[in-house]
Amino acid sequence: MNNLNDDFKVYSNRFDTQFIGKTIYYYKVVNSTNTVAKNLIKNNIDDGTIIISKTQNKGRGRNNHSWISPKGGIWMSIILKPNIPLDKIQYLTLIAGISVSKTINENFNLNSSIKWPNDVYINDKKISGILTESHITNKSVNYLILGIGINANNSKTDLDLDLQTSASSLRDELGYKIDITNFLNKFLNKLEYYYNILSNDEFNKILNDWKSLTNTLGKIVEIKQGPNKIIGEAYDIDDNGSLIIKEDDGNFRTIIAGNCTIKN
């Protein structure tokens, strides 16, 4: 398996997965891999196609936040065409977070965890974030794009100054650079494993594995939804992957989406 190092090339059969990553569009620089994915999908490309770039000029996180994408990181989007019920679409986000966290934990002497819904942390510092974008018509999922950013061989000093106390990288945590191609192969196999579980409607397996990795449940959290804030105990996640908050008055609220901050 050669390194992914050309300025631009379409690769095939780079990884030993069944279908995810069998076609890879590799770029030196793009505005956003999710934007490239949206343009490519118009050509009816294969399920599991991946877009990877060395850097992004306009990388995006959730809630329209920018995502700093220097050289050395893993900046990628995966195009999926899942045959799942619409109310289970959140599971694609869950399995992406699980796959990143498990790949880190199983291959390095690190203990990563997931902050709801899909941010991956090591030692209370963010390592990875996931942006999911979907196209839905007639209550069916036409396609879904998993945008995944992982601080891998970049250093936190490559990030904006205001992020350097809240973010880290695998390189910083380990003290050495990782083999990105090998890491990707293991991650994509893990993602494909959970994707197959999802396709077989094994939702409880996914929920249980997510709960075993989360750093959120049982904590007091603040959820921002635009100008609104919800504060309470992160009590559980429901069968659709939504967060259940127990407020001070004892009432429960179900949170489908929002920016989650752990207060204690």
Backbone angles phi, psi at 179, to 5 degrees: -85, 105
Summarize pLDDT for 87-129 with one digit per residue, the tens. 888 899 999 999 999 999 999 989 999 999 889 999 999 999 9
Summarize pLDDT for 182-191 with one digit per residue, the tens. 999 999 999 9
**Domains defined along the chain, listed by start:** 8-213 (3.30.930.10), 220-262 (2.30.30.100)
Summarize pLDDT for 32-48 with one digit per residue, the tens. 899 999 999 888 889 99
Measure the CA–CA gap between 43 and 34, rounded to whole angstroms: 15
The pLDDT of residue 232 is above 80:
yes
Measure the CA–CA gap between 82 and 79, rounded to whole angstroms: 10
Burial of 11 by CB count in 10 Å (0-12 exposed, 13-18 middle, 19+ buried)?
middle
Contacts of 147 (CB under 8 A, 6+ apart): 32, 33, 34, 37, 60, 76, 77, 130, 131, 132, 133
Token pair for residue 187? Answer: 């991650």
The pLDDT of residue 264 is above 90:
no
Token pair for residue 236? Answer: 């559980």
Token pair for residue 238? Answer: 């429901």
Give, rounded to a whole angstrom, the gap between the first and last alpha carbons of the chain. Answer: 44
| Mean pLDDT taken over the chain | 89
